[in-house]
Structure 1
Amino acid sequence: MIEIRYGDREQHSMTVDYRKAEPRGLTGPDRPLGLDPDPGRWPHPSTLTFDQAAHLGRAPAWVREALGAELGAWYGAESRRLSAEHERLARDAAEEGRGRILASSDALRKRQRARYHADAWANLLSVNVPGILEMREVGG
């Protein structure tokens, strides 16, 4: 078993009571695996080693919730940006008489990849990320 420490804090168990932790900004030794502040640059969770996944899974609740907050902000901005890009492409196509773009635009594929990325990280971190759960419930 690997020893996991976050700054001067002790190792935490896998089970924690969520929503009781106060998320705060992650810097220095509190930032697990040296993750970039931009969640879009995080590796996909399926590429992590067992030890890396365990490192994240045993992080204190406030660390996981802080990462979840970063993930939620990134996903919300990315989803809005890509939806707007799709709307613009669909509008341009209609104005130019090229027909309608329904569900095959590059922007929609990128939005779907962003959703899968965010969903995988939310599951790994065991946190509820706003916008992700709603997408799971409606299947979209």
Structure 2
Amino acid sequence: MPRSSRGFTLIELILVIVIMAALAVFALPKVLDTTLWRLRSFGEDLQARHQAMLRLALQQRRPIVATLTANGVNWAYAGGAVIDALPCPATESPCIAEGGSRTVTFNSGNSGATATSTGAAMAVTVAYGSYSQGYRIEADTGLIYPTP
């Protein structure tokens, strides 16, 4: 009489349990750790807003100053009127590794050029816990790039 298969064998069940345990140990903590996602989002938002402010300064022919601190970035007209702010995520603050206040002035002196408070390309590192992503703001063009 042929044997009909009606379910899983014990070996199949054990293999599924082993695979699920391996995923739970290695993959699940990475998926559930939202710190990485929040900081990555902050860095991408920083890039997008930085480029938007660079374009706005050139379109309006007005200098715009970006002030970078450990707790976020503020953009304002040279006269002081605030345009936008990007604070660090609440649970990952401070999120910019470089200490102190540094500035980037777009359309400096209405020349179209960008000036940094360091006088050279400025490094910005978004970091908290084990996550770290560097960015570089070019002194002459104001463009921002992620660094490897």
TM-score, with structure 1 as normaliser: 0.34
Q: Which has the higher helix share?
A: 1
Q: Which has the higher strand share?
A: 2
Report 1 or 2 for greater relative contact order, CA contacts < 8 Å, sequence distance ≥ 6.
1
Structure possessing the higher radius of gyration over alpha carbons? 2
